[in-house]
Amino acid sequence: MTDQVNLEALIGVVTTTSTVVVERGPVAFFASSVFDESEVYTSEAAANLQGFDAIPAPPTFPFVMENWGRFSDVQESDEPQNPGIMVALAPLLAQGGLILHGEQSFSYHRAVQVGDVLKGHGTIVDAYRKESKGKTMTFVVTETLWSDAETGDPVVSARFNVIHRS
């Protein structure tokens, strides 16, 4: 039963602390994967003509940054090993049901660009339930703030909503 999972206790749980390096190859590959063939994602000259200091990442790239840019040698030794979103999903998955990617949004302070080294800190910011057509929908919302590793200035916030339907 989903009422066995204390959703209020999830709010504030850290899901990630990591440092990522934004590299040209993954940015170009991601742009191609989302069918955006703009030269701005592959050519520094084209990026400069559009007003960027370096090749920018496509707008939805923060969704995968941690998969392509998290290298062990750039992690701070005191960064805790966080269980990620699984701290919330494991007890729900144990009850069966489906996991759905509900919503994703990004709030930019500036563009993510090739050469950036970004520090991410993610937490669960909301968790709630709704009944729908006889099913229980549990929503878990995470937010990761990515900041410039050198200056500490915020770059982008990524919100991710996962839904468990049982």
pLDDT in tens, the chain (166 residues): 444 678 888 899 888 889 999 999 999 999 999 999 999 999 999 999 999 999 999 999 999 998 888 888 888 876 556 667 787 888 888 888 888 888 999 999 999 999 999 999 999 999 999 988 888 899 999 999 999 999 999 999 999 999 998 8
Contact, 106 vs 59, CB < 8 A?
yes
Residues 6+ apart with CB under 8 A from 148: 116, 117, 118, 119, 154, 155
Instruction: Provide the CATH topology of domain 2-22+70-165.
Output: Thiol Ester Dehydrase; Chain A (3.10.129)
Contact, 58 vs 114, CB < 8 A?
no
Contact, 40 vs 46, CB < 8 A?
yes
